[in-house]
Amino acid sequence: MSLIRGRFKKEVNEAVVQYTASLPYDWRLYHYDIAGSIAHAKMLAKQGIIEQTESKDIIRGLKAIEKEILQGKFKFTEKLEDIHMSIESSLTEKIGQAGAKLHTARSRNDQVALDLRLFTKVAIENVIAEIRNLQTALYLAAEKNQDVVMPGYTHLQRAQPILLAHHFLAYFEMLQRDIERFNDCFKRTDVMPLGSGALAGVSYNIDRLWPG
């Protein structure tokens, strides 16, 4: 059910549904949302907030949903607004009341922050891998052109002769600085947001750092 419907008695206009829905964009976060939910379910059981059997049912249901999405069988609907509610609604349909307990001690703000951080971390790793490939190509090109001379420029004017190999390696070093920037971004992204709740934490005895 849409969050908006909790505020109004009348059916929401279709234009409003489409305007507020982020599902056309954030459906790509399904893998990270499910991974975060599995970890959360395990933590809830570890802390005695839900039963171990409920945690196992939740995990089983989440894995089944991920399989459906991968196979293209999962039915997305914009009326559920985003990927978080889509997965949670499907989970409750699959396993019953235990599915609704997954949201215990967690807000949607937690989910959004976690999913985006996990997505960003993977994206950074992929970009760095591609930069490494480009650096390798530049290095190999430099090795093959150690005796090739070309003009070096300063202020858009030819200044002095340089080696083409050094010109290639200059870009190698520029890309290395980009990698360092991405690594710094990774460190800033690699922060656990769970436990923040809707505003200032949750009242349950959760373990934010589990499994460490």
Give the tens place of pLDDT for each residue, 33-83: 999 999 999 999 999 999 999 999 999 999 999 999 999 999 888 778 899
Tell me which of 3.20.20.80, 3.30.465.10, 1.10.275.10, 3.50.50.60 is the CATH number of domain 3-105. Answer: 1.10.275.10
Give the tens place of pLDDT for each residue, 12-40: 666 665 666 788 888 999 999 999 999 99
Cα(187)–Cα(22) distance, rounded to whole angstroms? 27
**Closest residue by Cα to residue 190 from 100, 118, 88:** 118
**What does the pLDDT read at residue 18?**
65
Of the listed ranges 14-28, 105-119, 138-152, 178-192, the least confidently predicted one is 14-28
Place of tokens 């975060």: 36
Contact 111, 85 (CB under 8 A): no
The set of residues, in sequence order, having a beta carbon less than 8 Å from that of 136 and lying 6+ positions away, is none
Contact 118, 35 (CB under 8 A): yes
**Closest residue by Cα to residue 16 from 29, 3, 26:** 3
Is 70 exceeded by the pLDDT of residue 109? yes
Cα(123)–Cα(117) distance, rounded to whole angstroms? 10
CA–CA–CA angle 75, 59, 80 (5° rounding):
30
- Provide the CA 176 distance to its chain's centre, in angstroms: 24
CA–CA–CA angle 97, 99, 101 (5° rounding):
80
- Type of residue numbered 186: F
pLDDT bucket at 118, cuts 50 / 70 / 90: very high
pLDDT bucket at 3, cuts 50 / 70 / 90: low
| CA dihedral for 130, 134, 140, 143, sign (positive or negative) | negative
**What does the pLDDT read at residue 134?**
98
pLDDT, average across residues 2-6: 52
